[in-house]
Amino acid sequence: MQIEVLLTGIGGQGVQLCAKALAMAATADGRQAMLSARYGGEMRGGQTEASVVVADTGLRSLPILPSAGSAYVMHHQYWPPVRARLRSGAPVVLNTTVIGPPEDLDGASEFLTVGIPATAMAAEAGAPMAAGFVLLGAYASLTSVASIDSIVAAMTELVPAYRREHIQANEAAIRAGAAAIEAGAADLWVMAGR
């Protein structure tokens, strides 16, 4: 079983940190993972994209993906190139606080699209900068690529020493995103043909 995920957004939304946490969490759960990151020269405001490939055994794809089986989208600006690379029926999580409802996003109906108001939920959880973690929790719950506990552990390891005071709020954000997905949604990994 293998699944590829394209993660995209604007620099400063936590896309790269979330991609690394997802890859580390999948590895901690006994799977294999590869990660590739791509972002503009500026730290905030430009496109940021990452690819993570997760498999139970023997990865078949490089993390530079011509097509993918799922997506994590923090901002609509970079949705078109992601949409063009997704296979039909792929699970997609969208940050609807920024993007709006999935039905307003061109082509989203071709996929198993779930809208999560990640930015609003992060603010409610007391972690306004943790919207990426809300969406990551939702993605992990939707696809079962990695366990929520492993994502929390990876996030805890990755947060730099000068930001340690944010760990508890980041964990709350991850768990809020996971809770936003209905209990039966974890079976989508199988439904998506992975």
Is residue 13's pLDDT more than 60? yes
Cβ 22 vs Cβ 52: under 8 Å: yes
The more confidently predicted of residues 126 and 156 is 156
Model-level pTM? Answer: 0.89
Per-residue confidence (pLDDT) for residue 63, from 0 to 100: 62
The rounded distance, in Å, linking the Cα atoms of 161 and 185 is: 35
The type of residue at 17 is: L
Is residue 148's pLDDT more than 60? yes
Fold exhibited by the domain 2-191: Pyruvate-ferredoxin Oxidoreductase; domain 3 (3.40.920)
Displacement of CA 109 from its chain's centroid (Å): 19
Position of tokens 């999948």?
A: 26
The type of residue at 30 is: G
Cβ 99 vs Cβ 76: under 8 Å: yes
Task: Tell me the per-residue pLDDT of 117-138, one tens digit each, with 9 for 90 and over.
Answer: 999 999 988 888 999 999 999 9
The more confidently predicted of residues 157 and 110 is 157
Task: Tell me the per-residue pLDDT of 38-97, one tens digit each, with 9 for 90 and over.
Answer: 876 555 667 889 999 999 888 866 667 888 999 999 999 889 999 999 999 999 999 999
Give the pair of three-digit tokens for residue 8: 């995209």
Per-residue confidence (pLDDT) for residue 39, from 0 to 100: 73
Q: How far apart are the first and last CA of the chain?
A: 6
